Amino acid sequence: MQNSKKFPGSPGRAKLDIAIQPLLSQTEILNLPIFKGINVAACRLKIGPQQADLAHRYLNPAERGVLRQFTFPRRAAQWLAGRLCAKAAALSVISTSSPSPAAWQQIEINNQPSGRPFIAPSSAGPIPDISISHSGNQAAALAVRPFLCGLDLQEIKNTSRIKSRFANPEEEILLLRQGTVLNQSPKAMFIMLWSIKEAVRKAFPLHPLPGFLDLNLQSLSTTTGGFSGRIACRRSDMPDILSFFAFIENNYAAAFIINREPGTTADNYLVTI
């Protein structure tokens, strides 16, 4: 499915002098059942070294200190682009007005020991959950209130040598059949499956994380702007069935999961960190 609003897109609500774009259109957010009844924003940004000049304006002192610890410029650029996307998405969920540079700095993003990002409780406004991903030359982030969320973005590449680690034979049959109907390459379909399962793992911060083969693709169909379907979970501490939204576009696949389990609000999750 193609949707030119994703790669590239029109300016997002939280845009200042950063070329941040919406990853999801308002039509998708309003019409897709997975997002019903929640506040959602998703943003993307092309990774570039020139963004380092923006760190002093959009990161607070603690975050700038973390950025300075990176020894590889490429890794620093990925980290910064992901943070900028997450702040933009969070600000879009928190407020409908255009944020000031001070508002960007008030949103402080930390990581729990597992690496999962979260917004510090001292940040201004209601606390949304966030998920960050980057691949190739793109970074993206999802912000959701009040539930936990998972986003995964992957550049499309050949996974034939490792597909047995994340796809079972039944899933392979379903992907190849649907890919043929939808005119999508096997390479793209398998990367989308990887993204879907990785998004599930991000939305359910369990220890240990569910394995890729603990998650089984049950259905896949076209919907507004991409694909929807269901994933079955073999873990007793997870729902039996989860719904997802995913898309393939311009050599990238992305997937979105919302964790609506009782008690899994962003506020409750922060209490356990």
User: Per-residue pLDDT tens for 30-87?
Assistant: 899 999 999 999 999 999 887 888 898 899 999 999 999 999 999 999 999 999 999 9
Query: What is the reported pLDDT for 125?
Result: 59
pLDDT of amino acid 225: 86
| Whole-number Å distance between alpha carbons of 234 and 247 | 25
pLDDT score of 20:
92
Prediction pTM value: 0.90
CATH assignment of 154-257?
3.90.470
- Res 50: pLDDT: 77
Q: What is the pLDDT of residue 256?
A: 98
Looking at residue 26, what is its pLDDT? 85
Percent of the chain with pLDDT over 90: 71
Residue type, 230: R
Nearest to residue 14, comparing CAs of 83, 60, 72?
Answer: 83
In the prediction, which pLDDT does 271 show? 44
- Residue 10's pLDDT is 37
Q: Establish whether domains 21-148 and 154-257 are of one fold.
A: yes
Query: Tokens 């990853």 appear where?
Result: 23
What is the domain class of 21-148 according to CATH?
alpha beta
Q: What's the pLDDT score for residue 214?
A: 96
Boundaries of every domain in the chain: 21-148, 154-257
* pLDDT computed for residue 3 by the predictor: 43
Q: Give the chain's residues under pLDDT 70.
A: 1-17, 96-97, 122-125, 263-273
Q: What is the pLDDT of residue 152?
A: 98
**Dihedral pair phi/psi, residue 86, rounded to 5°:** -65, -40
10 Å CB burial of residue 25 (0-12, 13-18, 19+) is middle
2-11 LR contacts (CB < 8 Å, sep 24+): 2/249, 3/225, 3/226, 3/247, 3/249, 6/44, 6/225, 6/247, 6/249, 6/250, 6/254, 7/44, 7/138, 7/249, 7/250, 7/252, 9/44
* DSSP classification of residue 194: H
Extended beta strands in the chain, E state = 21-22, 39-46, 109-111, 117-119, 129-135, 138-145, 148-155, 215-223, 226-233, 241-249, 252-259
What is the C-alpha separation between 228 and 150, in angstroms, rounded?
Answer: 15
